[in-house]
């Protein structure tokens, strides 16, 4: 899976836009799979960033 390099907030914003388009019927069936794949990649990138941040915060909190 390709790595998404963008800020967490921008990634979440894009996922919300994709979901809104799907919910409102603005995404045609030909693009639906691509939109879902993109959202999945963005969410995976967000999950990785959250895990990394949690690890870094844990190191700071427990090292002092």
pLDDT per position as a tens digit, 16-37: 999 999 999 999 999 999 999 9
40 in a structural domain: yes
Q: Is the pLDDT of residue 13 over 70?
A: yes
36 in a structural domain: yes
pLDDT of residue 39: 97
pLDDT of residue 6: 85
Q: How would residue 1 be classed by pLDDT, with cut points 50, 70 and 90?
A: very low
Kindly state the average pLDDT of the residues 35-44: 97
The span from the CA of 12 to the CA of 24, in Å, is 18
What domain range is 22 assigned to? 8-63
2 in a structural domain: no
The span from the CA of 32 to the CA of 36, in Å, is 6
Tell me how long the chain is.
64
Interior/surface letters 22-40, b for 16+ CB within 10 angstroms, e for the rest: eeeeebeeeeeeebeebbe
When divided into structural domains, the chain yields a total of 1
């Amino acid at each position: 899976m390709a790595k998404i390099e963008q800020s967490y907030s921008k990634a979440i914003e894009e996922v919300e836009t994709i979901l809104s388009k799907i919910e409102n019927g603005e995404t045609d069936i030909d693009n639906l799979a691509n939109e879902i794949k993109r959202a999945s990649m963005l969410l995976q990138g967000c999950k990785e960033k959250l895990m990394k941040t949690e690890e870094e915060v844990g190191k700071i909190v427990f090292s002092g």
